[in-house]
């Protein structure tokens, strides 16, 4: 941040932070630690909350933290629409437009970016403020800590008004009692996050973008809500209530995917009733001369790699595969629900696996029309 926190609060009532993460990376705890740190060690007021889906691990998580001077009461408890600091806990979230909503030139962004994933920078909007990256996953593995403490260290550095010692102290307060055995390694992760986070210059960003062929990435999405007074469905009914049909769950995979071996499948449907995320695409068809619902393949956009389907398949028609070795997912199919809603279908992006091309590929493999 340019200038001190006091100067900042002369211009703006709140310093607002939005965390973009997936369940399991510890963003919720990270948000709580930042809030506590502000109150205990910076003499600021703070309020925050997280929002996540019904099934925490693997689903998108957002955290919101507001800070202000102690003489002001925080009476706003809504989600943060125009953050001063955006913290992205997994690079794959960069390709979701919703991640960038409401960000602008005032927004500093910190991205947990793995080596070899620099092409994700092609999704960085043009008008974002300063951009910082840190290889949080590697640091967490090397120090035997968690991604959330690495990101906490990175945040302390980028915010500019948080001393490393204060971040260490809040880590001790929060984790020292609950997980004393893990405290030392988490402190190391925190320090490494603080030291290793670094700013990307505009020139570096331009080079990364040119490598990905996305120099002119899309305009910044506005900060408006998806549904409002004018745009809500008639009656205000959410027709996709409880559905994850628009959620990209691929960031939560740990490098493994279920590989479908169609020839072995007996269409028992156990995988479909086990999968929590509507990944399997059954359609009317024929199996051994009988008309029935036939397993046509998987929609990997929604697969979070939990491997429950692999465990349950009675004939090993689903096996655990290393994701990197199975880039050619020949049987992948567009989600049937998405096909009925072309807008959502398009949103999955070029690196989603459910493209119309994969559908055509499957048709060719089966010898069908293309
Ligand atoms: S559980 Fe296995 S055999 Fe049964 S439908 Fe799924 S993939 Fe096919
Ligand atoms: S691993 Fe299997 S059960 Fe788990 S989300 Fe993916 S398809 Fe569904």
- Please tell me the CATH superfamily of domain 5-212, with its number: Pyruvate-ferredoxin oxidoreductase, PFOR, domain III (3.40.920.10)
Got the DSSP string for 271-282? HHHH-TT--EEE
Ligand 2 close to Cβ of residue 258 (< 6 A): yes
Report whether residue 308 contacts ligand 2, using a CB cutoff of 6 Å.
Answer: yes
Confidence of residue 14 (pLDDT cuts 50, 70, 90): very high
Q: Is the pLDDT of residue 50 over 70?
A: yes
**47 pairs with which residues across the strands?**
66
Determine the pLDDT at residue 247: 63
The per-type count for the chain, helices as H runs and strands as E runs, is: 12, 11
Q: Under a CB-based contact definition with an 8 Å cutoff, are residues 38 and 5 in contact?
A: no
Q: 């629409």: which residue's tokens?
A: 81
Q: Which residue has the higher pLDDT, 160 or 219?
A: 160
CB of 96 closer than 6 angstroms to any ligand 2 atom: no
Nearest partner of 309 among 335, 276, 287, judged by Cα: 276
The CA R_g of the chain, rounded to the nearest whole Å, is 23
Provide the pLDDT for residue 333.
Answer: 57
- Give me the pLDDT at residue 167, please: 95
CA 266/CA 204 separation, integer angstroms:
52
The 8-class DSSP code of residue 344 comes to H
Fold of the 239-365 domain:
Alpha-Beta Plaits (3.30.70)
249 CA to centre of ligand 1 in angstroms:
21
- pLDDT at residue 223, rounded to an integer: 47
Q: Average pLDDT in the 172-181 region?
A: 87
> pLDDT tens digit string along 129-157?
899 999 999 999 999 999 999 999 999 99
- Average pLDDT, integer, range 295-306: 84
Average pLDDT, the chain: 80
In this prediction, residue 244 has a pLDDT band, given cuts at 50, 70 and 90, of low
Distance between CA atoms of 158 and 168, rounded to whole angstroms? 15
- Let me know if 228 is exposed, middle or buried by CB neighbors in 10 A (0-12, 13-18, 19+): exposed
**What would the DSSP string read from start to end of 272-323?**
HHH-TT--EEEEEEEETTEEEEEEEEE-TTS-----HHHHH-TTS-EEEEEG
**pLDDT score of 91 more than 80:** yes
* Residues β-bridged to residue 298: 280
pLDDT of residue 347: 38
| CB of 317 sitting under 6 A from ligand 1 | yes
* Residue 323 φ/ψ, nearest 5 degrees: -55, -40
CB-CB contact of 338 with 352 (8 Å): no
Could you tell me the distance, in angstroms and rounded to a whole number, from the CA of residue 307 to the centre of ligand 2? Answer: 5
Lowest mean pLDDT among 38-42, 209-213, 328-332: 328-332
What percentage of the chain exceeds 90 in pLDDT?
42
Structure tokens of 354? 């459910």
Domain ranges across the chain: 5-212, 239-365
Our answer on whether the CB atom of 293 is closer than 6 Å to any ligand 1 atom is no
Instruction: Give the per-residue pLDDT at 253.
Output: 76
Q: Count Cβ atoms within 10 A of the Cβ of residue 212 and give its class: 0-12 exposed, 13-18 middle, 19 or more buried.
A: middle
Greater model confidence, 275 or 365: 275
Q: Are 98 and 221 in contact (CB under 8 A)?
A: yes
Q: Is the pLDDT of residue 84 over 90?
A: yes
């Amino acid at each position: 941040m340019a200038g001190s926190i006091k100067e900042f609060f002369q211009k703006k009532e709140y310093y607002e932070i939005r965390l973009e993460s997936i369940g399991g990376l510890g963003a919720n705890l990270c948000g709580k630690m930042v809030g506590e740190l502000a109150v205990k060690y910076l003499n600021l007021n703070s309020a925050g909350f997280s929002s996540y889906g019904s099934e925490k691990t693997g689903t998108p998580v957002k955290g919101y933290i507001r800070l202000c001077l102690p003489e002001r009461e925080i009476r706003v408890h809504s989600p943060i629409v125009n953050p001063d600091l955006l913290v992205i806990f997994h690079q794959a979230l960069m390709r979701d437009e919703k991640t960038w909503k409401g960000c602008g030139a005032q927004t500093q962004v910190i991205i947990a970016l793995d080596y070899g994933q620099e092409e994700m920078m092609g999704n960085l909007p043009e008008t974002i403020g300063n951009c910082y990256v840190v290889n949080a996953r590697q640091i967490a593995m090397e120090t035997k800590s968690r991604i959330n403490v690495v990101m906490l260290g990175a945040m302390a550095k980028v915010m500019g008004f948080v001393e490393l010692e204060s971040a260490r102290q809040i880590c001790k307060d929060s984790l020292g009692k609950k997980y004393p055995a893990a405290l030392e390694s988490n402190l190391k992760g925190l320090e490494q996050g603080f030291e290793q986070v670094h700013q990307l210059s505009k020139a570096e960003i331009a080079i990364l973008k040119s490598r990905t062929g996305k120099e002119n990435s899309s305009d910044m999405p506005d900060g408006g809500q998806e549904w409002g007074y004018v745009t809500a469905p008639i009656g205000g009914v959410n027709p996709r209530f409880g559905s994850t049909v628009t959620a990209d769950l691929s960031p939560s995979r740990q490098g493994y995917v279920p590989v479908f071996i169609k020839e072995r499948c007996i269409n028992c449907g156990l995988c479909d009733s086990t999968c929590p995320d509507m990944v399997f695409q059954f359609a009317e068809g024929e199996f051994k001369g009988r008309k029935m619902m036939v397993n046509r393949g998987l929609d990997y956009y929604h697969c979070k790699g939990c491997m429950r389907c692999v465990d349950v398949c009675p004939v090993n028609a689903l096996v655990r595969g290393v994701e990197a070795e199975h880039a050619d997912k020949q049987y992948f199919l567009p989600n049937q629900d998405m096909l009925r809603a072309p807008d959502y279908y398009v949103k999955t992006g070029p690196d989603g696996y459910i493209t119309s091309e994969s559908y055509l590929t499957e048709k060719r493999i089966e010898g069908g029309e293309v």
